[in-house]
């Protein structure tokens, strides 16, 4: 679509005014002066914005077309001028799905392209649960005089949709993180291969563990202990209750979606070390016969992985507009039933935005049952108005209370890379488990 700029109307008016004054006053200089703006107007009329609908090709590449809900998607847009003429003034904006937010880079660009030249722009999206479709790319060119503008839309080659689900029937197995987490170890002195420490000799100690070198040196009997590496069960607990389904704005993922994203990364990475891992989702009904909580006990088999991914998908699906929101609370009886399914020494990783007191109570329940707990909490508070400030302050107080209980916490800002946060969480977790 062509549109003529109105910027030269002043020049046209000035030229007519000067010409009329020159004629009335019989002043040739004024008539000659009127020719200058007329020249600019003529130049504008003779130049047109390039028509690029048939000469511009655009290709869109997406890092993941099936990301985890709450995960990041890298998008690259490559623009190539296949025509014989340069495009001096080109502006464009990619058709980002309306419900997804850009967290890095920009889908907009202002550039110029020589004939045969190509340029790429990159930006990053934060995925949400469901399927989202890209719109065509909006393109605008201008003439050199800026007297005319040409606007059109061009369909980009490449993926048109991003589908963020974790249903095993729709999602590829094994996607997610690669090495952001690792095995959870229970470390204690025992028979083994790695040196752990030296303690006083006891009559029941085997002869081969006596520190004979020290005995020969100072006559003191001591015993060498070695590290016993036992892989602990891991239970990832997702807060999918109604209070967790809150986002910073209408385009950002909710606390539930971000928690599911972290859970998927932990599950995939931890299984690479064959650590028995399970998932529990607070506020999810319909997955099994339990009231207000659903779970898959820790395991390492393929069947467990399929059920884990189904449960992750069910937790993420609570944010859909047509879905019933997650339960506000979880009955104590359901929690006790879950405790009966877990083995002693299971390590709990609790994922929650911590927006109400029940999140703190859940941590207390696990700790009182004898389980070690660490946390990763996505911050979805906006702090943009007094009400949001109050919510953020309450969350800060809850996190301070949990830290006083000795719970290792990663307060994750969703704009920060998750991998480093999980590495910090893993170091804190292993340190905490070494103290038990």
Question: pLDDT tens for residues 318-338?
Answer: 888 766 655 678 888 989 999
Average pLDDT of 105-129?
93
For residue 238, pLDDT beyond 90: yes
Integer Cα distance of 157 and 127 in angstroms? 21
Residue 244 DSSP label: G
- pLDDT: which is higher, 326 or 191: 326
From CA 70, how far away is CA 52, in angstroms rounded? 37
Query: 202: pLDDT confidence band, cut at 50, 70 and 90?
Result: low
Task: Identify the weakest region by mean pLDDT among 188-192, 297-301, 307-311.
Answer: 188-192
Q: Which two tokens stand for residue 424?
A: 């910090």
> 175: exposed, middle or buried (C-beta count within 10 Å: 0-12, 13-18, 19+)?
middle
Report the pLDDT value the prediction gives residue 178, as an integer from 0 to 100: 41
**Does the pLDDT of residue 181 top 50, yes or no?**
no
- CA distances to 50, 257, 258, 294, 395 from 239, rounded to whole Å, are 54, 10, 10, 11, 15
Residue environment code for 184-199, b if the CB has 16+ CB neighbours within 10 A, otherwise e: bbbbebeeeeeeeeee
Lowest mean pLDDT among 98-112, 176-190, 263-277: 176-190
How far apart CA 291 and CA 293 sit, in angstroms, is: 6
SS3 69: coil
- Average of per-residue pLDDT across 29-40: 60
Strand 409-412 and strand 372-378: the pairing is parallel
The listed range with the strongest mean pLDDT (144-148, 267-271, 346-350) is 346-350
Torsion angles phi and psi, residue 54, rounded to 5 = -105, -10
| Average pLDDT, integer, range 25-34 | 62
H or E stretch at 336: helix 332-341
> Which of 12-26, 232-246, 288-302, 304-318 has the lowest average pLDDT?
12-26
Residue 358 clears pLDDT 90, i.e. is over it = yes
Alpha carbon 37 to its chain's center: 55
How, if at all, do strands 194-200 and 185-190 pair?
unpaired
The residues, ordered by sequence, that sit 6+ positions from 126 with a Cβ below 8 Å of its Cβ are 70, 71, 72, 73, 100, 101, 103, 252, 253, 414
Name 311's bridge partners. none
CA distance 318 to 238: 12
- Of 329, 402, 419, the closest CA to residue 364 belongs to 402
More confident call, 262 vs 23: 262
DSSP for residue 210: B
Structural tokens at position 281:
């989702």
Residues 132-162 as b/e (b if ≥16 CB within 10 A, e otherwise) read: bebeebebbbbbebebbbbebebebebbbeb
Give the model's pLDDT for residue 413.
87
Residue range 244-268: mean pLDDT, rounded = 90
Mean pLDDT of 100-120: 92
Name 130's bridge partners: 164
Of 412 and 178, the structure prediction assigns the larger pLDDT to: 412
How confident is the prediction for the chain on average, in pLDDT? 79
Please give the span between the terminal C-alpha atoms of the chain, in angstroms, as a whole number: 71
pLDDT at residue 173, rounded to an integer: 45
Confidence at residue 110, expressed as pLDDT on a 0 to 100 scale: 92
Does residue 34 or residue 2 have the better pLDDT?
A: 34
43-52, 269-278, 353-362: range with lowest mean pLDDT: 43-52
Give the pLDDT of residue 259: 94
Report whether 319 contacts 129 (CB < 8 A): yes
Q: What is the pLDDT of residue 428?
A: 55
For the CA atoms of the chain, what is the radius of gyration?
Answer: 32
Check residues 205 and 357 and name the one with the higher pLDDT: 357
Question: Residue 227 has what pLDDT?
Answer: 46
Long-range contacts of 9-15 (CB under 8 A, 24+ apart): 11/37, 11/38, 11/40, 11/41, 12/37, 12/38, 12/41, 15/41
The yes-or-no verdict on residue 201 having pLDDT over 80 is no
Q: Tell me how far apart the alpha carbons of residues 348 and 375 are, in angstroms, rounded to a whole number.
A: 8
Q: What confidence score (pLDDT) does residue 187 get?
A: 40
For residue 297, give the H/E element and its range: strand 293-299
Cβ atoms of residues 224 and 198 within 8 Å: yes
What is the rounded distance in angstroms from the CA atom of residue 336 to the CA atom of residue 234? Answer: 18
């Amino acid at each position: 679509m062509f549109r003529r700029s109105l910027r030269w109307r002043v020049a046209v008016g000035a030229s007519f005014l000067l010409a009329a004054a020159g004629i009335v006053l019989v002043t040739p200089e004024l008539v000659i002066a009127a020719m200058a703006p007329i020249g600019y107007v003529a130049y504008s009329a003779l130049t047109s914005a390039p028509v690029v609908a048939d000469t511009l090709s655009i290709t869109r590449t997406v890092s993941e077309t099936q990301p985890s809900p709450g995960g990041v998607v890298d998008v690259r847009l490559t623009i190539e001028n296949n025509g014989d003429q340069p495009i001096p003034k080109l502006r464009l904006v990619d058709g980002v799905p309306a419900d997804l937010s850009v967290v890095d880079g920009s889908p907009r660009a202002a550039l110029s392209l020589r004939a045969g030249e190509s340029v790429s722009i990159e930006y990053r999206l934060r995925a949400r649960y469901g399927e989202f479709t890209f719109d065509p790319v909006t393109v605008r060119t201008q003439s050199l005089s800026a007297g005319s503008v040409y606007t059109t839309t061009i369909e980009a080659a490449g993926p048109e949709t991003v589908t963020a689900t974790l249903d095993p029937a729709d999602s590829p197995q094994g996607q997610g993180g690669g090495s952001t987490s690792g095995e959870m170890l229970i470390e204690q002195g025992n028979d083994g291969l790695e040196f752990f420490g030296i303690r006083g000799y006891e009559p029941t100690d085997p002869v081969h563990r006596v520190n004979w070198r020290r005995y020969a040196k100072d006559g003191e009997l001591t015993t060498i202990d070695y590290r016993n590496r036992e892989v602990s069960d891991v239970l990832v607990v997702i807060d999918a209750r109604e209070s967790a389904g809150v986002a910073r704005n209408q385009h950002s993922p909710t606390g539930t979606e971000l928690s599911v994203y972290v859970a998927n990364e932990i599950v995939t990475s931890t299984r690479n070390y064959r650590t028995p891992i399970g998932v529990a989702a607070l506020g999810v009904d319909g997955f099994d016969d339990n009231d207000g909580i659903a779970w898959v006990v820790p395991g390492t088999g393929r069947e467990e992985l399929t059920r884990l991914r189904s449960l992750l998908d069910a937790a993420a699906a609570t944010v859909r507009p047509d879905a019933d929101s997650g339960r506000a609370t979880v009955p104590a009886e359901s929690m006790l039933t879950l405790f009966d399914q877990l083995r002693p020494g299971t390590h709990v990783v609790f994922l929650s935005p911590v927006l109400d007191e029940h999140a703190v109570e859940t941590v207390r329940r696990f700790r009182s049952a004898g389980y070690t707990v660490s946390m990763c909490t996505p911050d979805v508070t906006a702090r943009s108005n007094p009400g949001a400030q109050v919510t953020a302050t309450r969350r800060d107080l809850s996190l301070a209370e949990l830290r006083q209980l000795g719970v290792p916490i990663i307060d994750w800002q969703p704009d920060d890379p998750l991998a480093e946060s999980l590495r910090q969480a893993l170091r804190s977790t292993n340190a905490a488990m070494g103290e038990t």
